């Protein structure tokens, strides 16, 4: 048996070099006057390179995906730059590389860009996520950019808000981003995240080839156990090139942010002198009550309740109780103006609070837009009355 010396890493780098070289050929001929045509050419370049590695049962093209569900109108995707599909299942329409098909035979989709800037990154992810939602999870859903010269330190917040439909991103020849599920944390030694997450990798000259290798692994039904060394040639796996982990916000966190963003807008309308606060992806939102350690709070509570509170926590338990007692001296007068108050001294805790509770239909995850509106209207009007009355008495403390 002859032994040969192989260098799979250099082979994979040559794919990046080839894509990087070919992409400039049209620009060198037609300049910058026909960017749309150049964009289509670059999509074709990527399709041609991927096509070399695909098995005979997979084809590659560009076009649209249509989903039709019972008793609903058909939904159609925007035009997708690259579609990898199972050609053993008939498509709806095909002409050259152009196809129209349904989700059943779609194995992967790719959005192709000449260059991505951070200012457009969120919009691009949202577009790809919309296509992913229409087709469904479980496919390869990638974003491929030939060039990227911005600072990757500025994309964390964008990735946090993503929903995991986009699972592979190549930003130029160096930066590769991959989506992982929560259950992958232990294997990848990720200790700072309890949710699904993205890992950002710095792969010098290998981002394009790792993007394609992941595409092949996810779209092909064959087991690649005998060729990992070829597809992923970095010694010690690409995890040694990991820059950082971006933990995704939970579904609840996204809904809290959405809810409180609408609430602060509504509250500002009915209370124009109020200084807006920035909502966070959490179950409560507070603003100052005019005295250190005292805050007015909106909060989702256990047992399907929504609360408006005056929360008292100066950091000193005795001081908190004294402030509470001072306010409680005016309890009758306050309750003449605000109905339904609950006075919570909370002896076992440092803080105290005065609250009003509203029963709601359920957890934030299950509330509809109509439910939002009902809570927001109540929370806005009640907080205005609540804060106006209590602020008068807080000044006397």
In this structure, whether the domain defined by 251-394 belongs to CATH 3.30.1460 is answered with: yes
Q: At what angle do helices 369-394 and 317-328 cross, to 10 degrees?
A: 90
Does the CA dihedral 81-83-84-88 come out positive or negative?
negative
The two tokens of residue 77 are: 């995707």
Ordered per-residue pLDDT tens for the chain, 397 residues: 556 667 888 999 998 888 877 777 766 766 655 556 667 888 999 999 999 999 999 999 999 999 998 888 999 999 999 999 999 999 999 999 999 999 999 999 999 999 999 999 999 999 999 999 999 888 999 999 999 989 998 999 899 888 889 999 999 999 999 999 989 999 999 988 888 999 999 999 999 999 999 999 999 977 788 888 888 988 777 889 999 999 998 888 888 999 999 999 999 999 999 999 999 888 999 999 999 999 999 999 999 999 999 999 999 999 999 999 999 999 999 999 999 999 999 999 999 999 999 999 988 988 888 899 999 999 999 999 999 999 999 998 8
Regarding beta strands 58-67 and 80-86, do their DSSP bridges make them parallel or antiparallel, or are they unpaired?
A: antiparallel
44 contact partners, CB below 8 Å, separation of at least 6: 97
**Residues 178, 199: contact at Cβ < 8 Å?**
yes
Q: How many CA atoms lie within 13 A of 210 on its CB side?
A: 28
Alpha-carbon distance of 210 to 216, in angstroms, equals 10
> Which residue in 130, 181, 126 sits closest to 158, CA to CA?
126
pTM over 0.75: no
Domain residue extents for the chain: 8-247, 251-394
- The secondary structure of residue 361, as a DSSP letter, is S
């Amino acid at each position: 048996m002859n032994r040969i010396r192989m260098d799979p890493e250099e082979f994979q780098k040559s794919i990046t070099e080839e894509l990087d070289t070919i992409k400039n050929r049209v620009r060198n001929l037609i300049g910058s006057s026909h960017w749309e045509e150049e964009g289509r050419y670059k999509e074709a370049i990527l399709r041609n390179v991927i096509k070399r590695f695909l098995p005979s049962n997979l084809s590659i093209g560009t076009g649209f995906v249509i989903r039709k569900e019972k008793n609903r109108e058909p939904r159609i995707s925007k035009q997708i730059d690259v579609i990898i599909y199972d050609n053993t299942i008939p498509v709806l329409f095909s002409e050259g590389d152009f196809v129209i098909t349904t989700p059943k035979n779609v194995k992967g989709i790719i959005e192709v860009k000449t260059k991505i800037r951070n200012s457009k990154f969120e919009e691009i992810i949202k577009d790809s996520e919309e296509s992913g939602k229409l087709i469904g999870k479980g496919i390869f859903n990638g974003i491929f950019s030939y060039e990227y010269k911005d600072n990757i330190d500025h994309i964390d917040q964008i990735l946090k808000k993503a929903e995991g439909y986009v699972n592979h991103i190549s930003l130029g020849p160096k930066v590769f981003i991959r989506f992982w599920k929560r259950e992958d944390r232990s294997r990848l030694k990720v200790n700072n995240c309890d949710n699904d997450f993205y890992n950002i990798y710095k792969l010098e000259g290998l981002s394009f080839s790792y993007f394609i290798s992941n595409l092949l692994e996810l779209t092909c039904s064959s087991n690649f156990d005998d060729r990992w060394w070829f597809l992923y040639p970095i010694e010690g796996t690409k995890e040694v090139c990991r820059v950082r982990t971006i933990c995704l916000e939970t579904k609840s966190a996204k809904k809290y942010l959405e809810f409180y963003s609408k609430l602060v807008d509504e509250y500002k309308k009915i209370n124009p002198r109020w200084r807006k606060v920035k909502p966070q992806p959490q179950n409560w939102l507070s603003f100052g009550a005019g005295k250190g350690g005292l805050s007015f709070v909106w909060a989702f509570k256990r047992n399907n309740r929504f609360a408006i509170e005056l929360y008292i926590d100066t950091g000193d338990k005795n001081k908190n109780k004294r402030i509470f007692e001072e306010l409680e001296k005016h309890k009758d007068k306050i309750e003449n103006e605000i109905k339904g108050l609950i006075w919570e001294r909370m002896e076992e805790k440092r803080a105290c609070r005065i609250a009003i509770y509203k029963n709601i239909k359920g957890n934030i995850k299950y509330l509809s837009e109509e439910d939002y509106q009902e809570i927001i209207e109540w929370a806005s009007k009640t907080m205005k009355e609540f804060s106006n009355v209590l602020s008068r008495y807080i000044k006397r403390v």
